[in-house]
Amino acid sequence: MKKILAILSACLLVFLGACSGSDSTSSNGQSASGKTEVVFWHAMSGDLEKVLNEMVRDYNESQDEVEVKPVFQGTYEEALTKFNTVAGTKDAPTIMQTFEVGTKYMINSGKVQPVQKFIDEENYDTSQWEENISNYYTVDGEQYSMPFNSSTPVLIYNKDAFKEAGLDPEKAPRTYDELQAAAKKLTKKEGKQTSQYGFSVLNYGWFFEELVAAQGGLFVDNENGRKGNAEKAAFNSKEGLNVFNLINDMYKEGTFYNSGQNWDDMRAAFQSGKMAMFLDSSAGVKSVIDNAPFEVGVSYLPVPKEEDREGVVIGGASLWMASDIEEEKQQAAWEFMKYLATPEVQAEWHVKTGYFAINPAAYEEEIVKQEWEKYPQLKVTVDQLSETKSTPATQGALISVFPEARQKIVTGMESLYQGVEPKEALKRAEEEINRALESANQ
């Protein structure tokens, strides 16, 4: 019995010791190793989280001053909700990853420290960043956050289907007329059933925004909300109507496939041959190529006429620094951000995830050159971004109710399939978003 009691006592001491050591950070923000701890909230799941954790591990092992602790917080929306409950308190993360449409929300929160402070203090050269990425997160000349995982939409197509339809597999459609003509040739019927549709766009507001911006159209007024708070929607325009007319016309022609709102379902439909062309994120290109049983082509976002082409708006997310935390932690967060922006790290990130390198020097790294030999389609996505003109349209809109606005656009897109005329569908979306903007501005 004495031996048993001794063993139980020893186990209890070990257990208590483990509990007391479960929080390795002291009250002054130091980890058990003596390093300054940086808590990094992110929304990268699955394989992306594995890559991110590898990057963090490499950084932690590369120096003895800072220890970054990555913590998955669910989707972008879920992470932002959690941040809202702890912002400005001791429980707030040092670094917060937020999707691009959360930019205005983060600025309005008053709980973030713009990285411009650190850029100015050490005269950090931001020209090494891709301008068409960093521009999104620059407001009134101030860099609020550091670009991180960035993507744009591209046209993905089935080269084998192009050959079968008598189309040039090396020449994807770049205008709406070319797209419609190719879609007609690619659409296949078996009796009354359509076995292959020509084209598809996910029912997701991002694609509508991008198709409007590609023509130089604005989503909201006041220069897309960058010359003051947006008060009215601006997409009920020639550019917006061009997009809704395209979808409506192709749907009526029977060449457009309604792929719903689920990204996986859309990609599965393409890989199974249900449609021959569709719009996807540049970050999904590698996965689509690896999983398709045919040769895959990638091209630029189509526009009504080639002379309309302005470029694309960056999507993805950026890294924000919390305010109301120790200056030592802020400096540590900045050191980590700078590390992430180095060509070597960005090259690894681009190759392993398909996201753009925020530092274009990464594309000169040998690892990228080798990857582009295997996946030349990736270079197409980079070229489209680098050729983008810097305008209020391609810089992207800033509104605090963006997630809600996107859903209104989805409703408008889906109403086209129910027979609502494009002008009416666009008008309804405009009115609903105007009400949301009015409420937010109050």
CATH of the domain at 94: 3.40.190.10
Indicate if 110 and 125 belong to the same structural domain.
yes
Residues 425, 281 share a domain: yes
Clarify whether residues 135 and 266 are in a common domain.
no
The token pair that represents 172 in the structure block? 């994807």
Structural domain includes residue 179: yes
How many C-beta atoms surround the C-beta of residue 372 within 10 A?
A: 17
In a domain, 17, yes or no: no
**Domain final residue pick, 333, 357, 373:** 373
Domain that holds residue 352: 34-150+315-373
Residues 59 and 168 in one domain: no
Distances (CA, A) of 245 to 86, 248, 254, 422, 425: 44, 5, 14, 6, 10
Indicate whether 166 belongs to any domain.
yes
Instruction: Answer yes or no: is 103 within a domain.
Output: yes
**Do 326 and 300 belong to one domain?**
no
Dihedral sign, Cα of residue 398, residue 153, residue 419, residue 248: positive
- Residue 208 has which token pair? 């509508």
- Whether 396 is covered by a domain: the verdict is no
Q: Which of 323, 357, 373 is the last residue of a domain?
A: 373
Pairing state between β 296-299 and 66-72: unpaired
Domain contains 420: yes
Total number of domains constituting the chain: 2
188 is a domain residue: yes
pLDDT tens track of the chain, all 442 residues? 444 434 444 443 333 333 333 344 444 456 666 899 999 999 999 999 999 999 999 999 999 999 999 999 999 999 999 999 999 898 999 999 999 999 999 999 999 999 999 999 999 999 999 999 999 999 999 999 999 999 999 999 999 999 999 999 999 999 999 999 999 999 999 988 999 999 999 999 999 999 999 999 999 999 999 999 999 999 999 999 999 999 999 999 999 999 999 999 999 999 999 999 999 999 999 999 999 999 999 999 999 999 999 999 999 999 999 998 999 999 999 999 999 999 999 999 999 999 999 999 999 999 999 999 999 999 999 999 999 999 999 999 999 999 999 999 999 999 999 999 999 999 999 999 999 999 999 8
Q: How far apart are CA 291 and CA 126, in angstroms?
A: 37
What are the backbone angles phi and psi of residue 46, rounded to the nearest 5°? 60, -135
Residue 385 lies in a domain: no
Given 373, 391, 418, the domain boundary residue is 373
